[in-house]
Structure 1
Amino acid sequence: MTKKVIMLACAAGMSTLLMVQRMTAAAKNQNKDYDIFAKSTTEIDSQLNSDTIPDIILLGPQVSYLKNDIQHKTDAKQIPMDVMPMVDYGMMNGEKMLAFAEKLMG
C-alpha cells in the first residue's frame, strides 16, 4: 500500500498541530503508514507543486471561508479537499478525523 499524505491547513499552520498529533496516533494504532502534517493556507499552492503532493487537504473550520478558492486549486490537481467537521475538530478527535479523511480519499 502506498503511503498516504494528509495535509491539514489553517490560518498559520499552528492550530492544527494538535490534530496532526491525534490523527498520527490514531493511524499508528491502526497500523497505517500515513504522513500527516499541518501548513498555513498560504502554503497550499507551493505544496500542490512540491515533490510531496498531498492525497487530501483538510481545512480547519476557522478558514472554511477559503474553501471555494482552494477547491478550484485542488480540483485542478484531482485532490479531494474539505473542511474538517467542527465538532470533531473542537474535540480533537483524531480517530474520527482520520476516518473522515479516509472516506474522502476513497
Structure 2
Amino acid sequence: MIRILLCCSAGMSTSLLVQKMRKSAEEKGIEAEIWAIPQPELPENKDKADVILLGPQIRFALGEVREMVGPEKPVDVIELRDYGTMNGKKVLDFALSKLG
C-alpha cells in the first residue's frame, strides 16, 4: 500500500484531485491511500505518508516542510498545470516517481 499525502492551504481544492488520483490508481491496479489536509495538520499526518506533495499555492513552504519531515521521506510541489487541470493521472505518476 502506497500512502500519498497532499497538503495545501485549506485542503478543499485538493479534494477533487485526490478523487481523480484514487481513480487513476484503481485503473492502474495500484493499492494506494491518498488524502488531503490543510497545512496546519501536517505535523500529525506526516508520519502516516510515504510521499508528501504540496499544492502550488504553498510552494513557499517546501523548505520548511522538508525540514519538518526529514530527508528519508520525499516532499515536492505539484506542478501548477497538473494541479490547475486536476490531472490525477499525472500527479499520481509524479508521486510514484518520487518513491523510486
Q: TM-score, normalised by structure 1?
A: 0.90
Q: Which residue of 2 aligns with 1:47?
A: 45
Determine if the alignment matches structure 1 residue 82 to structure 2 residue 76.
yes
- In structure 1, list runs of 5 or more residues that go unmatched: none
Q: Which residue of 2 aligns with 1:59?
A: 54
Structure 1 Cα separation of the partners of residues 52 and 46 of structure 2: 10
Secondary structure, aligned partner of 1:32 = coil
Secondary structure, aligned partner of 2:37 = strand
Which aligned segments of 4 or more residues in structure 1 are displaced greater than 3 angstroms?
none
Alignment of 1:31-46 (within 5 A): 31-46=29-44
- In structure 2, list runs of 5 or more residues that go unmatched: none
CA RMSD of aligned residues (A): 1.0
Q: Which residue of 1 aligns with 2:14?
A: 16
Which structure: greater helix fraction? 2
Structure 2 Cα separation of the partners of residues 58 and 22 of structure 1: 15
Q: Which residue of 2 aligns with 1:102?
A: 96
Q: TM-score, normalised by structure 2?
A: 0.95
Shift in Å, 1:48:
2.5
Alignment length (residue pairs): 100
Secondary structure, aligned partner of 2:89 = helix
Q: Which amino acid in 2 is paired with 1:29?
A: E
Give the fraction of aligned pairs with identical amino acids, expressed as a percent.
37
Q: Which amino acid in 2 is paired with 1:60?
A: G
Structure 2 Cα separation of the partners of residues 90 and 17 of structure 1: 13
Structure 2 Cα separation of the partners of residues 73 and 4 of structure 1: 21
Shift in Å, 1:12:
1.0
* Candidates 74, 86, 91, aligned match of 1:92: 86
Q: Which amino acid in 2 is paired with 1:32?
A: I
